[in-house]
Structure 1
């Protein structure tokens, strides 16, 4: 009896291993469309049934008698599923799922049959909401790095240049849509650059906080740098004053200067640097540059102060530079542009 049980156990393990190896992995991007592949030997009297394999085995899509039969479709899938009708006769039973949600993640079964036989295909669907934006802010001597709307749960790491010790506090929250928001903060010290990286299985982004300084005298001009020398080939450039007022907007076609800043804007360089002239105390404030292309975004924030009593430029004040670098990790079967 013991030998029989051992044989049955081995057969069960082999069957489970074969079943697992037969599954197809599909990665779907949150709120986008996704195709779950399935094929069979077509003929006539086709029957196609898609299920999400849960405790209740939710009905996703049913097709027979040459039309959809959606009376028993699970409510979450209503209006979001379709077959490629013109290709069913050629053996294509693939399912298109739109507006992918986190609860869609899981194992699916495609049952397809005709008078020539039947076939079952199993799909493992994984949902990814990649890191799309990363924010880094400084209030006093504390900096915070954060991002929202991510799935699965992301990781956040800090590093410094030069290497130094620090203690960060990280908080992760899950939304009603089962997406993750993450934020981490720490206390900064002078003369240290801080790098924050937020990662998932699909992609990773990094933000670098660089601390510099600059002051000018009233009536003088100055050039505000936009990014490092290895800045991307520019697709768009925006300069703002005090976070909201647009100074200059530039694309590949050309640039536009707002009326309020025509007298102060002297020129803009190929790397995005902004040269200003005839500045007064009313131009003291925060200047923000956003330089981006399809893969990278560089943000530089400069706090500009006027030296009392005029005079030449001197060293003081503060400049905060933020650089964002996108590192794309493409999941199998799906390409994404970040």
Structure 2
């Protein structure tokens, strides 16, 4: 009797989601610094460089004041940001074309001072997950000083200098035409979500026909960088004042 053996080979589709073994989520390894108004990329990649297209990519804030601090969620091959923190609406995105290479970095557009903090990049496949921490520091470089003045009844003039949107808090000084710091009123300070606003008044005699400079300086020890902005007023013999601003 002749026996025949029939072999059937069945090819089963292999899901890229199931085929992903252990991986590591790698962050930048250092604190990220940005200036308010800039765009910022929070680097995050998979090692080895496997595709993240079929995975869940979740970016969220740590130690945030809301119960669900979602910054960006990619799941089932698309962004799903219905529960995103309101202040991030329309400002977050992934590098969609580079997900296949394991790039799960987050692009944050037009950063705000409130964006400063710790972020977690959490990646999950069907069989494995990992995360990494990214710390972000946002600096506010404020506005050019705004000068105003008013005449006093006792033959004096009040010069007022004000500048806002700074972080960290700057110093503010009045200087004479030779660059010497003058004895002005104590500075006033206000802090809100837009940063620090500083204001300072200098009182002079009406016959002081000289140049006066308001200088606002910020020293950020976190990155060892100093920024200075100045505004100048020229007091003439006649009541016609000249203002100049330099950044």
* TM interval, short-chain normalised: 0.5 to 0.7
**2:69 maps to which residue?**
58
**1:182 maps to which residue?**
198
- Structure 1 residue 144 displacement after superposition: 0.7
**1:206 maps to which residue?**
230
**1:158 maps to which residue?**
174
Please tell me whether residue 29 in structure 1 is matched to residue 36 in structure 2: yes
Please tell me whether residue 38 in structure 1 is matched to residue 47 in structure 2: no
**2:150 maps to which residue?**
139
- Structure 1 residue 115 displacement after superposition: 8.6
Contact 2:174 2:182 in 1 (8 A): no
- Extract structure 1 runs of 4+ deviating beyond 6 A: none
**1:10-32: CA deviation from partner (whole Å, max 9, x where unpaired):** xxxxxxxxxxx9333131424x5
Query: Runs of 5+ in structure 1 lacking a partner?
Result: 1-20, 214-316, 327-338
**1:47 maps to which residue?**
56
Cα distance in 2 between the residues matched to 1:135 and 1:158 = 13
**1:172 maps to which residue?**
189
TM-score normalised per structure 2: 0.67
Name the one with the larger helix percent.
Answer: 1
TM-score normalised per structure 1: 0.51
**1:287 maps to which residue?**
none
What's the Cα RMSD here? 3.0
How many residues align? The count is 201
Contact 2:33 2:139 in 1 (8 A): no
Cα distance in 1 between the residues matched to 2:236 and 2:148 = 15
Q: Which of 119, 138, 148 matches 1:108?
A: 119
Q: Which of 198, 203, 211 matches 1:193?
A: 211
Query: Runs of 5+ in structure 2 lacking a partner?
Result: 1-27, 152-156, 221-225
Cα distance in 2 between the residues matched to 1:121 and 1:320 = 57
